[in-house]
Amino acid sequence: MSTPLLSVRDLHVSFKTEDGVVRAVDRLSFDLERGRTLGIVGESGSGKSVTNLTVLGLHNPMFTTVEGEILLDGQELTTAPEPELEKLRGNKVAMIFQDPLTALSPYYTVGRQIAEPYMKHNGASKKEAWERTVEMLGKVGIPNPGQRAKDYPHQFSGGMRQRAMIAMALICDPDLLIADEPTTALDVTVQAQILDLLKDLQQEFGSGIIFITHDLGVIADMADDIMVMYAGSAVERGTTEQVLRSPQHPYTWGLLNSMPRLDSDTGARLSPIPGTPPSLLNPPSGCRFHPRCAFQGRVAGAGRCTTERPPLATDRASACHLTADQKRTIFIEEIKPRLG
C-alpha cells in the first residue's frame, strides 16, 4: 500500500470562547487514498467541518489550539507556515462550500473569480487563464460558457453557482477536494445533477474527495468509505457497504432508524434518538454517546460506558464497548427489521 494522500493522526482542535474551551475535534485519525471518496457524516456540531477547515489552515490561530498531525503527501500541515499553506490552497487542496452565494464574491464576474487561482498558482497569463476558465465552465455543464463567464454570481441560479464553484475548485487539478455539504442548499433534482457531475469529474481528474454531509442517502450515493462522527470524534468507519449494510455503532443505528424512507411502513412511528447532542464545552465522560444510548445496559462490566472511552481501531471499526457478536445480533434482530 502506498502512502495515503491525506493522513490525519490524533487530531485535537479546541477553541477558546467566553464560556470556556470547546473541544470541537478530539482524537481523530483517518486516511484518504488518491482517487477515493471519504464521506464524513454527522450532525451539526459533530466537528466534521472544523476538521476540514483545519486541514486547509482556515481556523483562527488566535483562539484555536491544534494538536496532532495532518500529513498531505507526507507534508506536515499543522505546523506549516502561512505562505506554504497559501501555495496549497486552491492548488493542491481545494474546497467547495455549502452556500455558493456567500462563497462567491458579488463584485467580480464568475469567470474572473475562477481564473484567479489558475493565474496565481500556474503563473498563467490572463488570456490563458480565461481560456482555461471557459473550458472548465463547459466541463461543469454551464451552457454557453464563453458568455456566462462574464456574468456576475447573482445572474446564476443556485445549481449553476455550485457548478461554478466546482469549476473554480478543479481548475488547478487538485489532489484533494473537500466538499462541505455541497448540495444541502439545493433542491433534490439539482442535487442529483451536482452529485453526478462530481462523480464524473472525479473519474476524469482522479482527485481524492472528502465529502461532508448529514444526509446518509447522499453519502450512500457518493462515498467509497464512510466515517461517522459524533461530538468531535469518529464513532464508526468502514467502506460504504460495510457501514450502511451492517452498521455497528448505536449512533449509526439511531441515524438510520430516525429517517423515514420512501418505502417504509407509513403506519409505524419513527424511532428518533432521544435527547440532544451534548455541549462540547463539557462533553459527557466515557463514551460521548452514552447519555443517549439505549444499549449501554448490555455492555459487560457495569458503568464502563460512563467511565471508559471506547477506542476506535483503523479500517473497519466502531467505537463501542459492545462485543462484535452483540453488535451483529442487535443489528440483525432489532435494528434491521425496523428499517423495513
Which residues of the shown chain bind other proteins in the complex (CB under 8 A)?
Answer: 34-35, 43-44, 138-143, 157-160, 187-193, 195-197, 200-201, 203-206, 214-218, 220-221, 244-245, 254-262, 264-274, 276-277, 336, 339
Taking the C-alpha atoms of residue 291 and residue 54, their distance in angstroms, rounded to an integer, is 29
Residue with smaller CB distance to other proteins, 111 or 254: 254
DSSP letters of 270-313?
Answer: P-PPPS-PPPTTSPPSSSTTGGG-S-GGGSSSTTHHHHSPPP--
Nearer to other proteins, 52 or 252 (CB): 252
Cβ proximity to other proteins: between 10 and 187 the closer is 187
Query: In angstroms, rounded to a whole number, what is the distance separating the alpha carbons of residues 225 and 36?
Result: 8
Helix (H), strand (E) at residue 39: strand 37-41
CB of 148 to other proteins, least distance (A): 12
Residue 209 C-beta: closest distance to other proteins, Å: 14
107: three-class secondary structure by DSSP: coil
**Do 243 and 228 contact (CB within 8 A), yes or no?**
yes
Nearer to other proteins, 216 or 227 (CB): 216
Closest contact distance (angstroms) between CB of 79 and other proteins is: 29
Question: How far apart are CB 68 and other proteins at their closest, in Å?
Answer: 27
Q: Among residues 115 and 198, whose Cβ is nearest to other proteins?
A: 198
Question: Shortest gap between Cβ of 277 and other proteins (angstroms)?
Answer: 7
Q: Based on the number of CB atoms within 10 Å of its own CB, is 17 exposed (0-12), middle (13-18) or buried (19 or more)?
A: exposed
DSSP secondary structure of 116-160: HHHHHHH---HHHHHHHHHHHHHHTT-SSHHHHTTS-GGGS-HHH
Q: Are 164 and 114 within 8 A, CB to CB?
A: yes
CB nearer to other proteins: pick between 66 and 114: 114
DSSP 8-state assignment for residue 89: B
d(CA 241, CA 223) in angstroms, rounded, equals 10
Nearest approach, Cβ of residue 205 and other proteins (Å) = 8
**Cβ of residue 224: shortest distance to other proteins, in angstroms?**
15
**Residue with smaller CB distance to other proteins, 68 or 291:** 291
